[in-house]
Amino acid sequence: MLDQAMEPVTFSESGGIRYLHFGTELIQGAMRIRDPDEIYLEYNQQMMAWLLFLETKPGMKVAQLGLGTGALTKFQHRHCPSVKTTVVELNPAVIVSARSMFFTPDDDRKLETIQTDAKQFVQSSKNKNQFDAVQVDLYDAICDGPAVSSLDFYKGCYDILKEPGVMTVNLFSRHKSFNLNLKNICEAFNNRVLLFPESHDCNVVAMAFKGPKLEAEWQEVSKRAKLLQEKTGLATNKWVAGISRENARQESKLSI
């Protein structure tokens, strides 16, 4: 994690898409140049899945661990006006590039950017029970699994959530890190974890829940997903079928 602060930030463009790299060809994020506020990558869209379970309201706070191209930051700034987003990013060059190359807004009353280590952030007592949602997307230049994977880290993510609270985290399915991360997430969140089906480039988004048990008919969740798609343009119409199919004992209704 600390090594990321020294990694060079580089860019490429192809077919109207601008990409972020950490000094290698591996993609760390992407933006459609003619529509910079769109969440271009499918797994990035799925990182917004907490919206299926939490109503946005004044005073709501979201912690975003890892800035990348600012796709989630821009989306929340535009579509969730009552939400304050706190971005945690260790690499100062990523913060600069998100604003200069990917058009992420400057900090204001809805956005705070903190240059610090994500593990230190989630283990700070001042952040305990402060956030309604946590989004985790922490990768280094090797990009073969999350840069922070420990049980202590995920327990910290649990601790900074309010009740009810939802964490979304981007995992890499075809690497040994996947099982380790999933095991630690399940232990930290008392096995209250759902997975999206694998998307492009082996990304799998996991959702973990804190607070009262959640039970709902999938038909009701589908109605919520449809409203979100109409409001935000996210491809939420695929989410419910994918989640119910991917997770054991979730076929008939959501129970987590």
Residue 88 and residue 118 in contact, taking contact as beta carbons nearer than 8 Å: yes
Reported as half-sphere exposure (CB side, CA atoms, 13 A), residue 86 has a value of 19
Confidence (pLDDT) at 2:
38
- 33-75 pLDDT, tens digit each: 999 999 999 999 999 999 999 999 999 999 999 999 999 999 9
Annotated domain spans of the chain:
2-211
Which residue, among 156, 145, 144, 84, has the nearest Cα to 117 in the 3D structure? 156
Q: Does residue 5 surpass a pLDDT of 60?
A: no
- What pTM does this model have? 0.93
Residue 145 and residue 175 in contact, taking contact as beta carbons nearer than 8 Å: yes
Q: Does residue 82 surpass a pLDDT of 60?
A: yes
Mean pLDDT of 200-211: 92
Confidence (pLDDT) at 85:
98
Q: Does residue 10 surpass a pLDDT of 70?
A: yes
Give residues with Cβ within 8 angstroms of 117, minimum separation 6.
Answer: 1, 2, 90
Q: How many CB atoms lie within 10 A of CB 53?
A: 19
CATH code of domain 2-211: 3.40.50.150
